[in-house]
Every structure is written in structure tokens, then in C-alpha cells.
Structure 1
Amino acid sequence: MKNMTHPAGGKDDFQLVTHLTLTGSQYEIGKALTEEARRLGWSPAPLDPAVNRARRTWFERHWPQHHARMDGAAAVLGLDPDQDEVALDDQGYVPEGYGCSALWIPPSAAADGHGRVGRNYDFFRTTMSEVSGLEPRANELPMASRPYVISTVPDEGLSSTVITMSALDGCMDGINSAGLAVMLLIADFETTEPPDAFLPQVGVNSVQLPRFLIDTCENVDQAKQALLGAKQYDHGMPLHYLVADAHGQAFVWERGRDGTEHIIEFGDGPLCVTNHLLHRHPDPMNLPRDTESSFASYGRLRALYEGSKGVTMSGGDLRESLRAVRPSEDPAVPFRTLWSTIFDTRDRTLSTVFYLGDGGRYSEELVFPAR
């Protein structure tokens, strides 16, 4: 079953937010997501048959929920789910790439004992054409102006709520009914290179990875094992991920420039993440100076760390810390915080305010349960 509402924004605001609630089998959920993706203009991409067969086999073994949703996609498209010519997922509707700041407060440092993660999702307000150096097309909307909140309640397995601006089969933020929260952030502005190709590969892409963890894992230990065993790829935009659970554990997952994999933990204390690789700069108080291309990543992390170390923080304190590192509303600054989210891993909720326009215009805080 599918239910759609618009809980924030409107025709006169920068964002119009869509909330999809999907219930039923993973097959039925896949059908509903594909119908929505087609409405947004998505169509399946041709793919090398050998790669396509390997992708389906990998999903069947390692991410069966996604595999079942792909069968639902095939039904909507009138295709044999075992065909080899086109990819049935990779349901993107805007380009990828983002700034952002995130801060994990473990239960031991929280005023009420609730583990929480706060994150700012910072992104351009421009169209896809403008980011590519072109004039916008007639009636073209800004890339991030139509985000989706997607709540899925499958007949079996973990329920979840996620936020996405670029792919209905992936997400930028999410939390599941076990209290596992995952969010992505750009990891290295200064080494981003154009990809050789945008075609799907075997494994999970950078935007599918949070959804992969939310579907298959209940805690940090399971998430570490899933990541270490998964094939992963990006499209020229290196990302890293903050993962936290209801048991008070958290880590950051990164891949180095040489393909090495890194799990970064800070023990029983706050964990701050912005847009540089933590395994290359592990000391929050010994960071390089920001440059024009670092987008204040080092300064934002330093501010979050200094504001959270050695103190007990309430949910309100966490929200204030995030407000303090939002980008300026100066017209020369290309980014805005397009949503700001608090994940409560004990209550299994995701609470978000969405950007409606300059002048401090944000929606009221919306609370979405993961169960």
C-alpha cells in the first residue's frame, strides 16, 4: 500500500517535501518506488549483460531486500526480472554531491541518556544545468528542491524512514526500527574527479550504501561486518558515512584514496564529521587551515568538537550546535542547509526541519518514526 503527503513547503517555497509511506512485501514496495521513479522521469539504463547478471547475483546473496524490490520494478516495467539488458535499480532523479556536518552524542554525554545524531545537509540551490556551467532549461527546478521522506514498513524485516534528494532506491539519511542510524557526507572536496562513467557496477553505489545498511543491519557491529564484506563504488564523489546504534555505539566509515577501508571510532565520546577524511586528520584540534576548496570543513568540525567535548548535551543543545555551523545566507555562498535532522536512536525517530527560503525560513520540525 502507498500513501503520499506533502508535509512541508509549497509552490512559493524553495522546497516541496514529499512523504511516501509504503507497506507490504519488498516486491510490492519495489513496484511502488518504481512507479514514483517513472513519474519523475527515470527509465532503466542499458548495461553490459555480464555486469547485470553479476549485480543481480550479488544483491540476491548480500541484499535480498533490494533484490526483491528489483523484481517489483521489473513487473512495473513489463520486463523479465532475469533479463540482462537493463539495470532495474539506480533510480536517480537528480545529480549527487553534497557538503554537510554531523555530530554524534552518545547516551553517556546526553542529558536524558538518549543517543542522538544531528546533521546538516548542505547543498547547492542551483539547477543541474547551472552546476554544469549551462543556462537553466525552461521550467527547470533546482536540484534539491523536491526531497523525499520515504517510510517503509515491510511484511518481514526492519521498518525504516529515510530522506533522499537524488535516488528513490538510496538515501542521504535514514534510521530503522532497530535504532540504527546512517548518514552520508562528502569526504574529500579537494580530490573529487569526474567519473569515467555513471553506469551501475556490481555492489552498492555511494547513495545506496545507507539503505543497504538500514535494510540488513540492527547495530554497529553488524554494520561494520556488512561494510567490510560489501563491494562498493562511487561516481567520482568520495563519501564517508556516520553510523550509530541504539546501544550507544558509533563509527565513521571511510575509503582511502588507495582503496583502503577505515573504521574511525572515538570511544565513549562525541564524534564529529564534516567534509574531510578523518583517517588523514584524526585530531580535531590539529587540523589544517581551510582553503577555498575545503568549504570550511576544518573550521566546522573544530567548532562542533569544541562545543561538545566534556559537556552534557540535550536535544536542544545539539540543535543549536548545528545551527551554529550552517552556511551563511550571503548571496555569494553557493550552499544552504537544506535540511537539518536529529536522529534519536533510542526512540527510533528522525526529526527534521526543511529549508523554505532565506531569512531563516525553515519548516516546523517534523518527526517521523522508523517503526
Structure 2
Amino acid sequence: MPVTTEIVAGSSTDFMAVRHVTASGSQVEIGRALAAQARLAYDWAPVPANRVKARARRAWFARHWPQHLERMQGAAEALGLDLEADEVYLDGLTGIPTGSACSASYYPPASTVDGRAVLGRNYDFFTTSATALFALLAGAPAPDGNEPPMSSRPHVLTSVPDGGPATTVLSMNELDGCMEGINEHGLAVALLIADAESASGPVDAGPQVGVSSVQLPRFLLDTCATAAEAVDALLGAKQYDLGTPLHYLVADRSGDAFVWERGPGGDEHVVRADSGALCVTNHLVHRHRDPADLPADNAETMLTYQRYRTISERSAGDGLSGERMREALDAVRVDAATDMGYPVRTVWRTVFDLELGTMATRFYLGGAADGAPRYSPELEFAVAVPAAVLGER
């Protein structure tokens, strides 16, 4: 099975070093490669499992997400373990700490100058380690040590499994989930914090039966070809949070897109664009949709309403394009001049071309002497699109 790993942006002297891992073969072989990379990059090790719950998780994955179960088998083989012994959890689930701020938008092909659908997002996150962040939130002194920032070791993962679909995803800190990605059919997904104003901290509950909030994008990319299929999959899937609740922008190359949200009582919402762009930041869009009628931001909202209004205004009308998308995202970028109350930066900006199957990302490398952010050149990663899929286009 061919596996390649290379640093494509940044270095040990920059804020981040970005690795691109490409793996092909069976899902078991891909899982084996990802587990090996997780051990190397993050010193990952499986945690002890509740055997009843682990067995129920395997059964759920077998029924609803067999690709993930096969990758878990590969992880077991990489560690010399028996998956069916149910002694440990063989996927690396972690919570998303409270307070990150992201912005995203989708332009359908009917609104773009070249007739190609594009989805773009800023991934805004803390520039501290997890230990330093928790000390900050608790009002405690900053810890000593050399623990790296949580967002300093992202991975681009390109998987070309036997039987497809091929995917290219971008993950901050775990290799069995992702923050955003695209598959060979031109379906793209991005996750964002769902409700900054009432967000809670990570849930210390461990893996549950179903799909976790960070696994959900990869679940859709593995199992769906269109936004319509993604709606059906989400309505039929068991979902859970291990951290702050998230919501998702899901879109395909045909022009179909929606925001997927769950309310505090478990109610589910599919929010579609009336026409033109579909924008999302860090509040529940089904509650506050109109950019002209938004609440005021406060210390807890991470400027979600301000960013939503700005990106919506810059994404209005026809004549949209990938460049307009980049300009809109840069207008809501979080940098040293943005007062979030916490050390947060836009650590990457991604624009997907859903027709071409590409993911173009610019990564944060640190601050210059004048305080301005330093970014890598925009790097383009192409999902492996089989000839049969190309023939459909």
C-alpha cells in the first residue's frame, strides 16, 4: 500500500508544520497507516474501553459506517491488538475546547462567474497548548513546559480506498475525524462551533455509540455523494458531542447546500439558502438567520454576529467567485488586531472548488515583527477523482 508523508507548509521554527499524508489501498490498510501516523505525530495510544459500549459501537459502525470500522481494524493491527476483544477504543476521539471562532460560506454555481460551486472557511483557533488554555480559562498562572499549541500540527489526509470514495480532509489534531474535507463526488463539509454564547467545556464522557461531532464530516464524506444524501444520513445517524456542540456547512457541486444544527433538546434543523450564498459563523443559524436582525455581540460570542453580518454582506448578489470568497473570508479574519479576549488566530483559510475537487489552503506560520500575520502560500490539494466520476461531470 503506497503511503507518503511530507511537510508541505511551515517548519519547526514556525508556529505550525503541516503534514500531508497520502494513503491508498483497503480501508484496513489506510487505518493502519493513520494509526501509525497518529502515534508518531501525537503519541496517540488507545484508552481502556467499556466492553459493552465498545461492542455496541462496533455494531453501529458495521451497520452505518463500515469504512470507519475497517480503519479501526487497521489501527488494531498496527498495535497488535484484537478489535473484537473490546478492551480499548481504537479511534482517537477528543473534545473541541470552548471558544474557537470560525466563519464559512458557500456560493452555488448559479451565482458564480465561472459556474463552479465554491465553499470557503476560516478555521480560527487558540494559539496555546491545551494545558495553557485551561489555565487561562480558570484564571490560573501559565504552566511551565514545552507542550506544543493544539493547532500547530495539522494534517492534510488524502485517502484513496479500494472502492472509494476518495477523500481529502484537513484535521487539526486527530486523524480519524476532520475539520473540513471534500470527496471525489464534489461533496464538501466544514464544521464550526455552534453556539458561542452558551458553549460549554469538553464533556468527560468518553466515546459513545454513534458518530462524534468531529467524526461527522468524515462520516458524510465516506458515505454520501450529494447534499441530499447527507441530509438523509444525518437524520438517520446517532450523533453525540464530546465537547462544545458543533454545526456544519454541507454542500455539493450541483448547488445544493445546507447548515446542519441540533438544538439543546436534540431537535434537528436543516437550514438551506433562500438563494445565493449560504453563510455561517458561530451562532445557531436557525435562530438568527437575517444579517439585518442580529443580537449584539458580548464577551462570550467571539464576534459571531459581527462576522456573520460582514461575510453575508460581502457574499451578496451575483458575480461571485473564488476570489470574492477569499476577500470575504479575509474581511473576517482573526489576527492580532482582533480583540477576542483570548489568544485566537485564523490558523488556516480554505477554499474548495467542488467542480474541480480541489482544496486550496493557506496556513498561519506566526506573527511578523510588526504584528502582521505570516501565512504560507496557498497550497492546492486535489482529491483523486476516478475516470468514471469525471465522466458524470
- Using structure 1 for the length normalisation, give the TM-score: 0.97
Equivalent of residue 120 in structure 1, options 119, 122, 126: 122
SS at match of 2:300: helix
What is the aligned partner in structure 2 of residue 254 from structure 1?
Answer: 261
Equivalent residue pairs, number: 370
Q: Residue 131 of structure 2 contacts residue 143 of structure 2 at CA under 8 Å; is this kept in 1? A: yes
Would you say 1:305 and 2:312 are equivalent positions?
yes
Q: Does 2:226 match 1:219?
A: yes
Tell me whether 1:341 sits opposite 2:350 in the alignment: yes
Kept in 2: contact 1:179–1:218 (CA 8 A) = yes
Contact 2:96–2:243 (8 Å) recurs in 1: no
Query: CA 1:338 to 1:96, structure 2 compared with 1: closer, same or farther past 3 Å?
Result: same
Measure how far apart 1:194 and its partner are: 3.2
CA separation of 1:137/1:164 partners in 2, compared to 1, >3 Å: closer, same or farther? farther
Offset at 1:331? 8.2
Q: What RMSD in Å do the two structures reach over aligned CA positions?
A: 1.5
Shift in alpha-carbon separation, 1:320–1:332, aligned structure 2, 3 A? closer
1:353 to 356, 362, 367: 362
Structure 1 pair 74–59 and aligned structure 2 pair: CA distance change class (3 A): same
Q: CA deviation at 1:28?
A: 0.2
Which deviates further from its counterpart, 190-199 or 116-125?
A: 190-199
Q: How far, CA to CA, are the matches of 2:326 and 2:54 in structure 1?
A: 43
Superposition misfits of 4+ residues, deviation over 4 angstroms: 94-97
> Partner amino acid for 1:34?
A
Amino acid at match of 1:175: I
Amino acid at match of 1:113: G
Q: Percent identity?
A: 52
Aligned to 2:51: 49
| Separation (CA, whole Å) in 2 of partners of 1:139 and 1:296 | 31
Q: Does 1:192 align with 2:199?
A: yes
Question: What displacement does 1:214 show?
Answer: 0.4
What pairs up with 1:49-128 in 2 under 5 angstroms? Answer: 49-90=51-92, 96-97=97-98, 98-128=100-130
Does structure 2 conserve the Cα–Cα contact (< 8 Å) formed by 1:129 and 1:137? no
Deviations 1:71-124 (A, max 9, x none): 1111111111211221111255x8545310001111111111110011000011
Q: Quick one: which amino acid aligns to residue 249 of structure 2? A: L
Which residue in 2 is equivalent to 1:367? 380
CA 1:367–1:196: 2 relative to 1, 3 Å: closer
CA distance in 1, matches of 2:365, 2:282: 24
- Secondary structure of 2:62's counterpart equals helix
Output the amino acid matched with 1:123: F
The residue number in structure 2 matching 1:266 is: 273
What is the aligned partner in structure 2 of residue 168 from structure 1? Answer: 175
Paired residues of 2:96 and 2:202 also in contact (CA < 8 A): no
Tell whether 2:38 aligns with 1:37: yes
Deviation track 1:155-190 (CA, whole Å, cap 9, x = no partner) reads 112001000012100000100000000000001112
State whether residues 192 and 236 of structure 1, in contact with CA within 8 Å, keep that contact through their aligned partners in structure 2.
Answer: no
Which 5+ residue runs of structure 1 have no aligned equivalent? none
User: Is there any run of 5+ residues in structure 2 with no aligned partner, and where?
Assistant: 136-140, 385-393
AA aligned to 1:100 is: C
